[in-house]
Chain A
Amino acid sequence: MHHAGMIGGRIERNDAWEKLSGKAKYVDDLSFPFIWYGGTFRSPLCRGKIREIRRDPEFDWSSVVVVTSEDLPGPNEVAMVEMDHPILAEGEARFFGEPLALVGAPSKELLKKALEALTVEMEELPPLLDPREALKNLDMVRGKSNLFKEYAFSKGEPEKAFSEAEHVVELECTTPHQEQMYLEPQGMIAEPLEDGGVAIWGSMQCPYYALGALCHGLGLPPEKVRVRQTVTGGGFGGKEDYPSVLALHAALLARKAQRPVKMVLDRAEDISCTTKRHPSRSRLRAGFSGEGILQALEVDLLLDGGAYTTLSPVVLSRGVLHATGAYRVEHVRIRGRVVATNSPPNGAFRGFGAPQMLFGVERMMDAVARELSLDPAEVRRRNILRPGDTLPCGQQLRQPGASLVLQRALELSGYEEKRSKPRNVSKNRFRGLGISLYLHGGGFTGSGEEEIGGKLRLEASRKGILTIRTSSVEMGQGVSTIFAMIVTELLGVPYEKVLYGVPDTREVPDSGPTVASRTTMIVGKILQQACEGLAAELLQRGRTLFSEPRIRWENRQYILPEGEPLSFPEMLERVLASSEEDLLAWESAYTPIPGMGWDAEACRGDAYKDYSWGANVLEIEIDGDTLEISPLRLTSVVDVGTPLHPLLAAGQVEGGALQSLGYGYMEDIGYREGKYTKHRMATYAIPTILDTPVMKVSFDGIPFEYGPWGAKGLGELPMNGGAPAMAGAVEDALGIVPRDLPLTPQELFRLLAEKRETA
């Protein structure tokens, strides 16, 4: 039995044994009788007019099914933020690998042969690949303006402040595409239903997004579509929007073949064709005093959206709203733009615009330090946001955790002492120390949570089983455990009797997508309210049953004026027995937080319900002969309010930090001429255990009043700090100034050569 004291404890994950034993069923582990296999015929060009898709007459086409844009029962649109993403390319292909047709076959061998028997005649068009060129709108990727979205806002009088500033520094940074590289490739199974509807199983983060896309694309009402999440082997945002595309493809094939169809992407195909982190180019200009105090900041962020909108406006929005990082600046001008190019469409990836923006901001702080020969930690300290400060969007911060985490990180890492050590540890080995200070707004931007209006249902059965019904998915981050802990803690029921219902659109309400670091902070709160609601409902029923208005619910017990208190399951049993019901349920919805408001177009108001904060100190060693980087030690202190399960939370921090370091120095997708040339696991390198620094993680937090036990967003925060700390460490070790990721040995070589030339 596990009752009070769950929060902050070490309860075992409730999904671990299936995963450890190999019993957990991911989508490719499922099979159905008579299942067929689906594949995609893709554009061989980044851009071209589609003249004709040809079928080789030697192949027996009656043995398979083929779906083209001419076979669509509804609009050729994958419902997303905009409706510009075709299900299948029609008339023109706008990125390399864009789906042109789908094939379903009874075996994988036949599928392969059928795909090889398709060819396409295309008229090649010159691709538009540079976002700066795209801004000129001379050559329009989609026939309308290439500008997907622009935001511009300012605070104070930046021009005046610049003219008065003692020092002005300018900087331009770039960051590349990054691949999520979830270990489980994307996959869907679709089954046609007798009523003309469709059932879907798949690896995904947002069952309701897939549902919406299926209804829209197939012209079906929601009652005829059912979406179920299978055990998902990692997502990181990569399975936020793309599953809608894959689900539609599988569904179309299933309906045409009148068979269940499984579509699981091969790794090379997954890397080549699914959405990536938006590449960025940021230009920053800072005006500051001789003491390094920021007086003015100008930021221009340009993101490469790829061929279709997907989530670009929201990525941009988050980017610009993090444009001043953890620092207070009175005079600010911020502009952000995301444009269409013939890159494959970019989409969600942990951090969602913040890693790109914060890389630039942190590089700027290091530039200020360099200009004034100040310690990078000291410059940050002098500019750090304080309680009561206002962000450029006008949001006032009651208690930013920035100082707290920075202070702690410097202490824990022994920063001061290490700073004084020589960088040249032996003839050819150089040590470097880098720091980063970062933040992440938790939950959806602005009034997104209000618009979603997330819901969750908690069911209690007569046998004392509590089932959580939510569309939030477990994808490794631990939500099934955290949510079960919350129920256990609040209702005093045994942990083993709390089940996490499969996110099945037939069975769970829409709690909103599993993104934006909102699951514990926002949906966990809704669950908390559902527990309270359920307990209160049972209290009412109990009072009625016993005709005793004095019964109280206190400390996880129903206190009766006479006799022993009853536990939740005991009261439940009595109440349900008497009414001959099997289930007591309570549905809760998101409660807007009082006093918060947001104007989306003007970017003014309370951009996020609250912010999480982090500080990293990274030590690296560089081999002077080969310029290979070895990350040695990473100290990461984060403020996430309250880590409800510190062990699981530390796992998020360590995993996100390593992913962020990989972004900083190792991950290189080789994007050339619109194609990812490094599209295999052998060529797109992610860190192995030998590349991992020793990590020290610490939690130090200022609770969020409206989060469950004060919890704030956690999932994405660690992604924001690794790359800038890496850049700072490289600068410290070699005296070069990194501006462009990734910091491969070749890039270091180039910077060293540049330094020698200018010397």
Chain B
Amino acid sequence: MKLGFYVNGLPVTVDTPPLRSLLSILREDLGLTGTKEGCGEGECGACAVHLEGELVKSCMVPAFQLSGRSVVTIEGISAQGPTGLQDAFLQEGAVQCGFCTPGFVMASEYLLRNDPAPNEAAIRKGLAGNLCRCTGYGSLLRGVQRAVAEGYTPRIFPPLSGEPFPEDSEMSRKSLEEEGIFLPRTLEEALKILETHGEDVLPVAGGTDILPDMVKGVRETPRKVMNLRGLAELEKLEYREESGALEIGAGVTFARIREHPLGARDLPALREMAAGVGAVAIQNMATLGGNLMTASAAGDAAPLLLALEGEAVFVSSRGERVIPMEDLYRGYRKTARQPSELLLKVRIPSRVFGSSQKFFKVGTRKALTISRLSLGCSAIEKAPGIFSRVRLGIGSVTPWPMLLPRASELLENRPLSMEYVKEAAAFLARDVVPRKDTAYRQEMIRNLICRFFAELLEKRVVQS
């Protein structure tokens, strides 16, 4: 495809296969080798760039999503000589082999642009998506702190130059379709495409689960791909009176979910879950819909949405279809979606707003981790120590995320004591038999259920 977009303020056009990554385009077509490939699968952060001002991992951004958009790379940041941040890194010894360095500069610039005076915890969070093997991170942390102390302000990028790229013409869309790439402009168009091509088409939003695997040949490259990014109908995030629910569009990123005000007030577990997906750059790209529809057993969102009594709303040319979250998964990596449908949105009903809720995720490290176990919890305290609507969603221990089946039966509508909860938790944990590390994971499930209730019984959380 012919791709026109902006790099470091200047317009560029390249001829590239539509699934090719932004990283490859920068390095191979444009000779901008400052952005590095350390892993090609969105882990190490050496490929980090700014895409329309957001920190993203360029190894996971496909060409067909770049049309007319603006990218800033390390070369752009460095164009006028060393920035105060780069100097701070130098002074603090934060540069050793240098391979991770451009990625850290991009991540730090992004952090400081959004938070000019971050504390240590915020700096660590902001850099958690970048790996370094040489420095032990101390000097990188001190470098950012030094820049902050010196009053460093990130450079604002000059406006884009050159004529704006023309809208993709009908002809270019047609030729892309012949290559198997669909770029619908509206949801209606997208649904029509699905009507015609059904199972042959793979819808792609953020692409973070999909693209790296495709590029590496771990997942078969689909014959046809449909871009969902930019479809306004999929990207709404709002509370709606009509449905009495928070409606999260399938195309909403975890970053937006994380920042939504309802997260602070009434849905703290939702914020917790969103903030734990990968790290900052992944949250900027990955969508709720992508996460749910990839249907990984270890997916982060489903266990919590199950606990929060979520509903999945599918849409096709024939209209909408609502199903409870429990019915979303039919088997290992199999969802209830019909070939002509798209996931439109997920609803979280207001009856769980302000519930006692928590999201636990246990991984192999504190960021950038596939979950070893996740547990989404929600309960509504009717009277002191008595709960209704107790729902516990588990992930990574069963072939697909599910509710612990006997949670209601064992934990609702009776005064709870910790001794009782411990016993009940043991029963609930034994209902699940993970294939690997069975005893350990059952123990963890038991402990986390106990931890959830212990906090409640100790604090007596009052609903809003």
Q: Footprint of B on A, CB under 8 Å?
A: 10, 12-13, 15-26, 28-29, 112, 180-185, 231-234, 236, 266-268, 427-428, 475-478, 624-628, 630, 647-648, 650-651, 653-659, 666, 668, 680-683, 685-692, 695, 744-746, 749-750, 753
Contact = CB atoms under 8 A, between A and B. Distances in A.
A689 B137 contact: yes
A655 B95 CA distance: 12
A29 B101 CA distance: 15
A680 B42 CA distance: 11
B98 A233 contact: yes
Contacts of A668: 364
Given A21-B34, A231-B98, A476-B134, A688 B128 contact: yes
B102 A691 contact: no
B365 A476 contact: no
B171 to A, nearest CB: 26
A651 B139 contact: yes
A595 B93 CA distance: 39
A260 to B, nearest CB: 16
B370 A683 contact: yes
A685 B89 CA distance: 25
Contact of B439 (A231, A653, A753): A753
A691 B132 CA distance: 12
Contact of B78 (A16, A21, A231, A749): A21
A477 B96 contact: yes
A47 to B, nearest CB: 25
B269 interface: no
Contacts of A20: 78, 82, 86, 89-90, 95, 98, 101-102, 105
Contacts of A180: 133
A356 B337 CA distance: 52
Given A184-B38, A659-B133, A749 B443 contact: yes
Contacts of B102: 20-22
B5 interface: no
A232 B99 CA distance: 8
Interface in B306-320: none
A692 B33 CA distance: 30
Interface stretch (B63-71, B283-291, B444-452): B444-452
Contact of B100 (A183, A266, A627, A651): A183
B75 interface: yes
Contacts of B75: 21-22
B414 interface: no
B125 A650 contact: no
B362 interface: yes
Nearest to B106: A22
Contact of A29 (B33, B40, B41, B372): B33
Interface string B23-64: 000010000111111111111101000000000000000000
Contacts of B101: 19-20
Given A16-B90, A21-B86, A22-B34, A183 B97 contact: yes
Interface in B356-379: 360, 362, 364-370, 372-373
A676 B161 CA distance: 49
Question: Which residue, of A15, A183, A655, A666, has the highest number of chain B Cβ atoms within 10 A?
Answer: A183
A593 to B, nearest CB: 30
B367 A681 contact: no
A745 B437 CA distance: 10
10 contacts: A234-B134, A427-B454, A476-B96, A476-B134, A651-B96, A651-B134, A681-B38, A690-B128, A691-B367, A692-B138
B82 A17 contact: yes
Question: Which residue, of A25, A627, A691, has the highest number of chain B Cβ atoms within 10 A?
Answer: A691
B124 interface: yes
Given A19-B98, A22-B102, A651-B139, A688 B370 contact: no
Nearest to A271: B39
Report, nearest first, the 10 A-B pairs whose CB atoms are least far apart: A22-B34, A19-B98, A476-B97, A233-B99, A654-B136, A625-B447, A476-B96, A690-B366, A29-B33, A22-B74
B448 to A, nearest CB: 6
B452 to A, nearest CB: 10
A666 B86 CA distance: 31
B98 A18 contact: yes
Contacts of B125: 690
Contacts of B373: 626
B141 interface: yes
A658 B90 contact: no
B136 A692 contact: yes
Contacts of B41: 267, 680-682
A443 to B, nearest CB: 22
Given A16-B89, A626-B362, A691-B365, 19 more contacts: A18-B98, A19-B101, A26-B33, A29-B27, A183-B44, A266-B40, A477-B96, A625-B448, A626-B447, A650-B139, A651-B136, A680-B39, A688-B279, A688-B365, A689-B140, A692-B137, A744-B364, A750-B440, A753-B439
Contacts of B92: 647
A686 B133 contact: yes
B145 interface: no
B131 interface: yes
Interface residues of B, number: 76
Nearest to A649: B93
A25 B102 CA distance: 13
A428 B451 contact: yes
Contacts of B368: 682, 688
A129 to B, nearest CB: 20
Interface string B119-158: 0000011011111111111111100000000000000000
A362 to B, nearest CB: 21
Contacts of B136: 651, 653-659, 692, 695
Contacts of B369: 685
A626 B141 CA distance: 28
B42 to A, nearest CB: 8
B321 interface: no
Interface string B270-303: 0000000001000000000000000000000000
A478 B135 CA distance: 12
Contact of A267 (B38, B124, B443): B38
Contacts of A691: 365-367
A487 B316 CA distance: 73
A18 B93 CA distance: 14
Contact of B365 (A624, A648, A687): A687
Contacts of A750: 440
Nearest to B366: A690
A680 B73 CA distance: 26
B33 A267 contact: no
B217 interface: yes
A343 B91 CA distance: 43
B185 interface: no
Given A183-B131, A625-B451, A626-B447, A475 B97 contact: yes
B453 to A, nearest CB: 12
A681 B97 contact: no
A428 B451 CA distance: 9
B77 to A, nearest CB: 8
Contacts of B351: none
B32 to A, nearest CB: 8
A496 B132 CA distance: 28
Contacts of B91: 10, 12
Contacts of B36: 26, 183-184, 233
B37 A681 contact: no
B333 interface: no
Nearest to A747: B440
B216 interface: yes
A234 B34 contact: no
A61 to B, nearest CB: 21
Interface string B329-373: 000000000000000000000000000000010101111111011
B44 to A, nearest CB: 6
A651 B135 contact: yes
Given A29-B33, A681-B44, A16 B95 contact: yes
Contact of A682 (B78, B90, B127, B370): B370
